[in-house]
Structure 1
Amino acid sequence: MKSQEEVKALLIPILEKHGECFQKFLCIKAKSAVPGEEVITRTADGVETVNLAEQGDWLVENQTKAKERYLVPDKIFQDKYELQESNGEWKKFKPKGKIIGIVYDKSLFHNNDFQEELVFEAPWGEKMRLRKGDYLVCPPDKTEVYRIAKKEFEETYKPC
């Protein structure tokens, strides 16, 4: 498994050269996460990753067919989402952030570095699998790299 630093060194130059700007257009539901709560993120192709909630995290639920759930630290959440509706425990938020992204495939590599599946450390320290056809993404400040499954990406993002 590659560390987040190793994967950033390997893949950020590719994102800088070939990546495109995308913006999330689908609203999300979110609520305050319970510290210590285990959140298993599931996409249409199975378990993506596992994370433990910390104080101040938000539990986010995408409004895709998979309804995948994941945790977002408060600072990042405030930068990426704007409150739309507040009625009950779950609140509706409009996305406002952008990402740099690219489809992960062999054409990105000039030698034998390509792997059909790349396992690496997600920004929150857990294992993440990047599969051929998934989207490799990072925020504009390039502080982290992560995967968004192909089906969920296409349900959620559009070019800037």
Structure 2
Amino acid sequence: MISQQEMLKHFLPILENKGVTYQKKSLIKARKAVPGTLIITRTNDGDETKNTAKAGDWLVENQTSSSEQYLVKPEVFEKKYKLIQSLEKGWGCYQPIGKITAIEINADDLAFFGKTDCMEFEAPWNELTLLRVNDFLVTPPEKNEIYRIAKKEFFETYEKV
């Protein structure tokens, strides 16, 4: 498995040199996650990753064609989202306020790791995640983690700053 550290070591210089700053353009739905709940993130191209909720985690649902769900740590959630409206059953509508730096992945990027059209690597939450050619690799301003956003969902949710 390709670790977070290996991914950061290889891709951070590329992100710093060629990366583009984006922000989310669409609202999200979120609620406190139930600890122990397994969340499988599904995009239009299939299962992306999984994660198990811990105390304090937030369950986020993007407003995309796949309505993908994922978990966010409480300290990260507070930096990235602002409550707009409370909804039913503990859900809320939130305005994204964070930014990311992103690059679109090409075949040469995967070839560095001996792969052709897709590969798996360790996500920041210690589970495997999939990366395909034309997906986006992103990092927050802190540059302390790196993760994938599928191409279709990326363009449904992000815009250049």
Q: How far apart are the structure 1 equivalents of 2:101 and 2:107?
A: 18
Aligned Cα root-mean-square deviation (Å): 1.3
**Secondary structure at 2:64 match in 1:** coil
Q: How far apart are the structure 2 equivalents of 1:12 and 1:100?
A: 10
Q: What's the TM-score once normalised by structure 2's chain length?
A: 0.94
**Equivalent residue number for residue 85 of structure 1:** 85
Q: How far apart are the structure 1 equivalents of 2:53 and 2:24?
A: 23
Cα drift, residue 133 of structure 1:
0.3
- 2:21 counterpart of 1:21: yes
Residue by residue, what CA displacement relative to the aligned partner does 1:33-57 show, whole Å, maximum 9, x if unpaired? 0000000000000000000000000
- 2:107 counterpart of 1:102: no
**Secondary structure at 1:118 match in 2:** strand
Unmatched 5+ stretches in structure 1: none
Q: How far apart are the structure 2 equivalents of 1:39 and 1:129?
A: 15
**8 Å contact 1:104–1:131 — kept in the other structure?**
yes
**Secondary structure at 1:152 match in 2:** helix
**How many residues are paired up?**
158
Q: How far apart are the structure 2 equivalents of 1:125 and 1:107?
A: 25
Cα drift, residue 140 of structure 1:
1.4
Q: How far apart are the structure 2 equivalents of 1:93 and 1:65?
A: 18
Cα drift, residue 106 of structure 1:
3.2
Cα drift, residue 108 of structure 1:
5.4
Identity of aligned residues (%): 50
Residue by residue, what CA displacement relative to the aligned partner does 1:9-66 show, whole Å, maximum 9, x if unpaired? 1111111111000000100000000000000000000000000000000000000010
- 2:23 counterpart of 1:10: no
Q: How far apart are the structure 2 equivalents of 1:25 and 1:158?
A: 6
Q: Which consecutive aligned stretches of 4+ in structure 1 deviate over 4 angstroms post-superposition?
A: none
Cα drift, residue 113 of structure 1:
1.3
**Secondary structure at 1:123 match in 2:** coil
**Secondary structure at 1:55 match in 2:** coil
**8 Å contact 1:14–1:108 — kept in the other structure?**
no
**Equivalent residue number for residue 55 of structure 2:** 55
**Secondary structure at 1:65 match in 2:** coil
Cα drift, residue 119 of structure 1:
1.2
Cα drift, residue 77 of structure 1:
0.2
Q: What's the TM-score once normalised by structure 1's chain length?
A: 0.95
Cα drift, residue 107 of structure 1:
5.5
Cα drift, residue 103 of structure 1:
0.5
